[in-house]
């Protein structure tokens, strides 16, 4: 029971990190019809910026906060210099070009930060654990990550669903041509959306940096899952991304934790261990296949036509 | 107010408009007519900057707007009610109206949510419903209201009464008459000759991308042979 609660919190944390990535990805795909494989690179760059800025400032909080505008600017630069030329091209061209960007960033960090993975040491007050229930300790930092993820998700939900700019973003995602013909500069709106999306991906990288090793290629695994989230939630739908991200985060974490034990009921111990681990890592793709078979447009389709 | 001078428009190698000419004086109603595939919608799309114009110019109040980005053309004072209405399905009725609302050219009595709801009380009742939950007629009202909220002085309507029930058609026509009375210029693609006879100062018949006939709505209604020749009805 205690383990289950811990795993649920871990799952929520993974889900919220996935949401931070998927939010930008889904809007970029929805509004500009651009498949951006380099989105995971912005996640990675967030983590590396945090490594250096925490080093320079000597403060975890200050360094992490400064890394955010750095990723925002990097995102806008990538959009203006490179991606803007790709909107009218085919998805295959976009995949090739953004895959090129991904390789470029992976090598760039090797040149600048070296081959060895980097770690970020947390300040003492974040290295403690908190008793979430009597007798159940949980890492204070992980709780902070969950809280930050929730605050950002709430802020994003408010912006998208309650403000004028949010209405325009949603309008642009459902019908770009008509949005433009009503006087909205979709290209500029999009630069902003892309920059903020990059910043959110960067935030996920920054928050994950103290938990994981910061290294070249760290964006790829999470990008693949974030793409699954995007497709599952419905391309262009932030609400869909949120629901799908939390579902996948929880499902992935819980399946990896508990499937081997569950299978032991019907299988010999060693077979259950192998099968459970394999099934645990497959289960989110299975969910995607089933969802797409039933609802090809995802859970919350934006283009309801 | 809007002057279209000899524009050519092509989709790839297929040329659709051949030296099309059109004038819309301020406050007047001009109808663009012709059979399907003759280039009516293409002409509207060319005005809005949604298809590139090959040669020729389009001027709004004397300023060249040919091939400008469509958001700039809209901001210069043209409101579009597109074919098929194209309501934003993921926005509520109220949000559809508010998303692009602006009074960029400082109209003295700008369109507001209240004024649009006053024009179409049905929309006020359905303000919080998603755009897709509205009936065809209500969606058409919403598309008109959405364009009005950008405070244009020329409203372009592409087949605004197409596929609507008679009562809803009547509601749209009386709304257009009211907008005209308020001084708005209208460019409509329409085939309802009876309704146009009382509303349109000029009807322009397009055939194969060229202007084939121009006259008043009354002239057109009085000449069944002309209608038969260009519209086949």
Residue A12 is encoded by which pair of tokens?
Answer: 């929520």
Q: How many CB pairs under 8 A join A and B?
A: 78
Instruction: Identify any residues that bridge with A131 across adjacent strands, giving them in sequence order.
Output: A137
- What is the residue-wise DSSP string for A197-252? HHHHHHHHHHHHTTTS-B-TTHHHHHHHHHHHHHHHH-TT-HHHHHHHHHHHHHHH
- What is the residue-wise DSSP string for B15-81? EEEEEEEEEE-TT-EEEEE-STTSSHHHHHHHHTTSS---SSEEEETTEE-TT--HHHHHHTTEEEE
Beta-carbon count within 10 A of A95 CB: 14
d(CA A28, CA A100): 18
Sites in chain A below the pLDDT cut of 70: 1, 303-305
Residue A61 is encoded by which pair of tokens?
Answer: 């909080």
Q: Which of A151, A150, A155, A152 is nearest to A166 (CA)?
A: A155
Q: Which of A7, A26, A52 is nearest to A206 (CA)?
A: A52
Beta-carbon count within 10 A of A131 CB: 9
* B75 in reach of chain A (CB within 8 A): yes
Q: Which residue has the tokens 């309650």?
A: A162
Q: How many residues does chain B have?
A: 233
Handedness of CA A63, A67, A68, A73 (dihedral sign): positive
Cβ–Cβ under 8 Å, residues B107 and B151: yes
Cβ–Cβ under 8 Å, residues A304 and B89: yes
Which residue of B70, B90, B104 is in closest CB contact with A180? B70
d(CA A25, CA A242): 12
Q: Which of B45, B101, B48, B70 is nearest to A187 (CA)?
A: B70
Residues of A in contact with B41 (CB under 8 A): none
Q: Which residue has the tokens 């859970």?
A: A299
> Chain A residue with minimal CA distance to B48?
A181
* B48 in reach of chain A (CB within 8 A): yes
Interface test with B, best of A26, A183, A189, A298 (most B CBs within 10 A): A183
Beta-carbon count within 10 A of A94 CB: 20
Instruction: Identify any residues that bridge with A271 across adjacent strands, giving them in sequence order.
Output: none
Q: Which residue has the tokens 């950002």?
A: A152
Domains and CATH numbers, chain A: 2-294 (1.10.3470)
d(CA B92, CA B98): 10
Q: Which residue has the tokens 């390789």?
A: A103
Residues of A in contact with B69 (CB under 8 A): 180, 185, 187
- Confidence at residue A305, expressed as pLDDT on a 0 to 100 scale: 37
Q: What is the DSSP letter of B130?
A: B
Per-residue pLDDT of chain B (233 residues; tens, 9 = 90+): 999 999 999 998 899 999 999 999 999 999 999 888 888 999 999 999 999 999 999 999 999 999 999 999 999 999 999 999 999 998 999 999 999 999 888 888 899 999 999 999 999 999 999 988 999 999 999 999 999 999 999 999 999 998 899 999 999 999 999 999 999 999 999 888 888 888 999 999 999 899 988 988 888 888 888 888 888 76
Residues sharing a CB contact under 8 Å with residue B177, sequence separation 6 or more, in sequence order:
B198, B199
- Confidence at residue B233, expressed as pLDDT on a 0 to 100 scale: 66
pTM, two decimal places: 0.83
- Whether B91 and A178 lie within 8 Å, measured CB to CB: no
Share the mean pLDDT of chain A: 90
Q: What is the DSSP letter of A118?
A: B
Cβ–Cβ under 8 Å, residues A206 and A20: no
Residues of B in contact with A175 (CB under 8 A): 86, 88
Residues sharing a CB contact under 8 Å with residue A122, sequence separation 6 or more, in sequence order:
A60, A141, A210
β-pairing, B210-215 vs B202-207, is antiparallel
- DSSP helix/strand/coil, B92: strand
- Confidence at residue A136, expressed as pLDDT on a 0 to 100 scale: 83
Q: How many residues does chain A have?
A: 305
Instruction: Identify any residues that bridge with B10 across adjacent strands, giving them in sequence order.
Output: B15
The upper half-sphere exposure of residue A228, i.e. CA atoms within 13 Å in the direction of its Cβ, equals 24
* B177 in reach of chain A (CB within 8 A): no
Cβ–Cβ under 8 Å, residues B81 and B160: yes
């Amino acid at each position: 029971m205690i383990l289950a609660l811990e795993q649920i919190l871990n799952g929520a944390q993974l889900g919220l990190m996935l949401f931070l990535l998927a939010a930008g990805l889904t809007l970029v795909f929805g509004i500009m019809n651009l498949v951006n494989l380099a989105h995971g690179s912005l996640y990675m760059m967030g983590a590396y910026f945090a490594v250096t800025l925490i080093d320079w400032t000597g403060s975890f909080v200050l360094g992490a906060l400064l890394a955010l505008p750095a990723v925002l600017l990097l995102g806008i630069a990538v959009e203006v210099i490179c991606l803007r030329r790709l909107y009218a091209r085919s998805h295959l061209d976009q995949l090739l070009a953004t895959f090129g960007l991904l390789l470029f960033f992976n090598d760039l960090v090797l040149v600048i930060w070296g081959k060895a993975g980097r770690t970020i040491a947390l300040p003492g007050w974040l290295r403690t654990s908190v008793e979430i229930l009597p007798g159940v300790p949980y890492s204070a930092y992980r709780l902070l990550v969950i809280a930050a993820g929730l605050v950002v998700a709430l802020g994003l939900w408010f912006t998208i669903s309650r403000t004028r700019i949010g209405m325009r973003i949603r309008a642009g995602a459902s019908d770009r041509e008509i949005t433009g013909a009503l006087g909205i500069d979709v290209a500029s709106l999009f630069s902003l959306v892309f920059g903020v999306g990059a910043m959110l991906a960067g935030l996920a990288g920054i928050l994950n940096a103290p938990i994981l090793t910061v290294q070249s290629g760290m964006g790829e695994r999470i990008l693949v899952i974030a793409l699954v989230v995007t497709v599952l939630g419905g391309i262009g739908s932030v609400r869909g991304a949120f629901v799908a991200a939390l579902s996948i985060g929880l499902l992935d974490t819980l399946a990896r934790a508990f499937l081997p034990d569950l299978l032991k009921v019907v299988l010999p111990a060693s077979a259950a261990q192998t099968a459970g681990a394999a099934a645990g890592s497959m289960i989110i793709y299975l969910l995607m296949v089933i969802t797409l078979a039933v609802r090809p447009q995802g859970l919350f389709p934006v283009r309801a036509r | 107010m809007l002057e279209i001078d000899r524009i050519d428009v092509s989709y790839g190698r297929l040329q659709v408009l051949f030296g099309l000419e059109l004038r819309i004086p301020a406050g007047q109603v001009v109808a663009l007519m012709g059979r399907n595939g003759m280039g009516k919608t293409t002409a509207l799309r060319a005005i809005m900057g949604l298809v590139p114009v090959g040669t020729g110019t389009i001027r709004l109040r004397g300023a060249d707007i040919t091939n400008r980005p469509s958001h700039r053309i809209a901001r210069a004072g043209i409101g579009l009610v597109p074919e098929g209405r194209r309501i934003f399905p993921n926005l509520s009725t109220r949000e559809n109206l508010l998303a692009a609302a602006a009074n960029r050219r400082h109209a003295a009595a700008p369109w507001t949510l209240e004024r649009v709801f006053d024009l179409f009380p049905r929309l006020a009742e359905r303000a919080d419903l998603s755009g897709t939950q509205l009936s065809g007629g209500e969606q058409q009202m919403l598309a008109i209201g959405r364009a009005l909220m950008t405070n244009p002085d020329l409203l372009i309507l592409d087949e605004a009464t197409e596929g609507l029930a008679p009562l809803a058609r009547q509601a749209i026509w009386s709304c257009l008459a009211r907008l005209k009375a308020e001084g708005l210029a209208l460019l409509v693609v329409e085939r309802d000759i009876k309704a146009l006879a009382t509303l349109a100062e000029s009807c322009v018949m397009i055939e194969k991308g060229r202007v084939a006939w121009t006259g008043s709505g009354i002239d057109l209604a009085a000449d069944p042979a002309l209608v038969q020749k260009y519209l086949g009805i």
